[in-house]
Each structure stands twice: as structure tokens, then as C-alpha cells.
Amino acid sequence: NAGVTQTPKFQVLKTGQSMTLQCAQDMNHEYMSWYRQDPGMGLRLIHYSVGAGITDQGEVPNGYNVSRSTTEDFPLRLLSAAPSQTSVYFCATSGTMNTEAFFGQGTRLTVV
């Protein structure tokens, strides 16, 4: 049972580089989301999706893009990395209507 798989686990980028954080789930959940976790800030929602082909912005969407072409995958793209995007990123999935979320192990990203 893989659950929610995030890759890579660690990444160092130079300012201005682009990259994609991968998230895949095998739970057949419709709802997927990306959070960033920073010290003292808790988890902040970046983007989310309620199903294939549907995405929307969360609390801190600037500098990030997402797409949802399949139920299983929800990649997060950094178009031009900035030091302010240094953070730990978590992908989460959940079923419908008030059910709990399942989290990946996280990607620790450092932008230098």
C-alpha cells in the first residue's frame, strides 16, 4: 500500500531554476492538495484540486502552478525558484465530505 508518494524527498535549487514536485496517490481520492510548512507558520495551502481537470488556488499560490490530468497525479511546479520558497512541501489526499486527509512524507526544498 503506497498511499501518497512524493518525490523527491530532498532538493536544492538555484534561484531562477524551475522544477516539479511529484505527488501520486493510489487511494482513488478525488481531493488533492499541496501545502508548505514553515517554522511558526503551520501548514499553508498552496493549491488544491477536487478532481481531474479541476484546480484552484489556496492561501499562498504565487510562484506555483499545478495541473490535474489524472486522478492519481497532482504535480506542483515552481516556475522560477526564489529563496522565499525554501520550505517543506506536503501533498495530501482525501475522499469526499469531511473525511480525513492522508499525507505524503514531504519534500524538503532549499533555494540558494
Partner 1 sequence: GNSVTQMEGPVTLSEEAFLTINCTYTATGYPSLFWYVQYPGEGLQLLLKATKADDKGSNKGFEATYRKETTSFHLEKGSVQVSDSAVYFCALRKGTQGGSEKLVFGKGTKLTVNP
Q: Residues in the site for partner 1, rule: CB under 8 A?
A: 31, 33, 40-43, 45, 48, 50, 56, 58, 90, 92, 94, 96-106
Between 10 and 14, CB nearer to partner 1: 10
* β-bridge partners, 63: none
In angstroms, what is the minimal distance from the CB of 53 to partner 1? 14
Between 43 and 82, CB nearer to partner 1: 43
Between 19 and 103, CB nearer to partner 1: 103
In angstroms, what is the minimal distance from the CB of 54 to partner 1? 10
